[in-house]
Amino acid sequence: MDGNRRWAKEQGMPTNEGHRKGYEKLKEVMSWSREAGIPHVVIYGFSTENWQRSEEEVSYLMQIFRFILENEIGKMIEKRIRVRFIGDLARFSEDIQKMMMRMEADSDGKEYDSTLHLAMSYGGRAEIVAATNALLKEGKISVSEEEFSHTLWTKGMVDPDLIIRTGGEKRLSNFLPWQSVYSELFFSDTKWPMFTKEEFDAILAAYSERERRRGK
Show which residues are catalytic: 2, 50
Burial 93-111, CB ≥16 within 10 A → b, else e:
eeebeebbeebeeebeeee
In angstroms, the CA 176 to CA 160 distance is: 9
DSSP string, 45-60: EEEGGGGGS-HHHHHH
What's the burial of 83, exposed, middle or buried (CB within 10 Å: 0-12/13-18/19+)?
Answer: buried
Element (H, E) at 100: helix 94-107
